[in-house]
Amino acid sequence: MRILGIDPGLSATGYGIIENGLATEFGLITTDTRQPTPERLRSLGEGMEEVVRRNRPTQCALETLFFKSVGARSVIRSAEARGTIIYVLGRNRIPVTELTPATIKLALTGSGRASKHQMNYMVKRLLHLGERVSEHAADALAAAYCLSRRLPRASGGEGDAKGKGERGSGKVRTGTPRRERERGNGEGEGRKS
């Protein structure tokens, strides 16, 4: 089973792919903050389409939005980004499970109030990642890991997910435990082999 985890955001959306308990790819889809919102949403959608096309996930774990005290504009922009992502997933017929940040934190650390540092540490430890993982990519991998622990185990061998990082209209930065390959922006997330 290939699970796509997503930490949604308009400026940076983290994503991570887990298959058979291992991270096969993770990274960020970023949008240009100087562009109008419709253009940024289009870029985000195209970047997500590229990730889906490249990895062909069978399930998706989507972190729900959580805001402590921010302005309405920020909440609206985040909800618009999330809607774009859900549209891409629905169009590709990928089942989506929504998980709260507290649920994900509890699954990884045993505490629903774990810090970002604790989460990043546990993601790297549980998925055997030695390299630096951005906060958004770590949150996405954590969501995918949480869902992988909830779903029944599927039988079968390794799939064909390759750690390929390509640049679409949304800047997609990727990393994998196997290797890192970049085109265009030079800001990869993963371990270099």
The set of catalytic residues is: 7, 63, 136
| Residue 149, both tokens | 């622990």
What is the sign, positive or negative, of the torsion defined by CA atoms of 77, 82, 83, 87? positive
List the alpha helices (DSSP H) in the chain: 37-55, 72-91, 101-109, 116-126, 135-150
Cβ contacts of 144 within 8 Å, gap of 6 or more: 3, 4, 5, 16, 17, 18, 61
User: Is 139 within 8 Å of 156 (Cβ atoms)?
Assistant: no
| Residue 137, both tokens | 């990519």
Q: Distance between CA 100 and CA 62 in Å, rounded?
A: 9
- From the number of C-beta atoms within 10 Å of its C-beta (0-12, 13-18, 19+), residue 95 rates as exposed
